[in-house]
Homo-oligomer: A and B are copies of this chain.
């Protein structure tokens, strides 16, 4: 839940011209996890600073910075910072931006640290492919959204993506290229909501063009069923790098007020059964 700090001008009667604002929000998870015979504690906490403003001409601009504050070695984790400006021309973002071919990535199972089922399907697209991108341009026209992103400081690192939404359903297509064009990934996405059930699916095909060139495919399917405060989720994912598919089952119960009891079990790449359970909170 995001808080808006009142600007001094607002205190004086909400009068005057447009003014920029800073807001503070946060989230936390606490719980326990296991991997085979090992068990371990889980805790993550994040504080987010959000700046938003509007120019006299109606352009919107802002920044968002998130600090991971749970590091135990007296340190912090920079969980991502972006700056943007948007208007009729679309939205231009810089920093730790979304990569344009990650049109509709899958949720993970577990809800605490995450068990990583989604990573199996996303092994070659979006953030997983090569260099991080630092600029993203997104344009929305009705039901169609198109994006392009790149590492503006590294030649040949870019991605494009498009998403079409019809009613409660969507389809999407993404293409990403790594440095020197020796790696490409094409991704397909589809999903939708039918009453209490929602489904998200993706498929990607990665091509390596260097010596010993090869192709590797990955896919994932996520489904969730919600009844009252309870949501049950299931996910299956596989890629050509391992012989075993990965599976996960999760459950989350919304306690209201920003807190959720959540957990799950998963088998990743045929390894030991992993599990986690706990509470997630948003402020």
Contact = CB atoms under 8 A, between A and B. Distances in A.
Q: Chain A interface mostly helix, strand, loop or mixed?
A: strand
A28 interface: yes
A55 B135 contact: no
Given A24-B5, A43-B134, A56 B255 contact: yes
A7 B17 CA distance: 22
Contact of A72 (B3, B30, B51, B96): B96
B26 A45 contact: no
B69 A283 contact: no
Contacts of A71: 78
Interface in A233-249: none
A25 B50 CA distance: 10
A32 B152 contact: yes
Contact of A30 (B1, B17, B22, B85): B85
A36 interface: no
B255 A51 contact: no
A65 interface: yes
A32 B153 CA distance: 10
A111 to B, nearest CB: 14
A84 B257 CA distance: 15
B257 A19 contact: yes
Contact of A81 (B23, B56, B69, B135): B69
Residue among A18, A76, A134, A281 with the highest chain B CB neighbour number at 10 A: A281
B255 A83 contact: no
Interface in A85-105: 85, 92, 94-96
A132 B72 contact: yes
A157 to B, nearest CB: 12
Interface of A: 1-8, 11, 17-26, 28-30, 32, 40-41, 43, 45, 47, 49, 51-57, 59, 61-63, 65, 67, 69-78, 81, 83-85, 92, 94-96, 132, 134-135, 152-153, 255-259, 279, 281-283
17 contacts: A3-B5, A5-B6, A18-B257, A43-B83, A43-B134, A47-B65, A51-B283, A53-B259, A55-B259, A56-B257, A61-B259, A61-B279, A61-B281, A62-B281, A69-B81, A70-B81, A83-B281
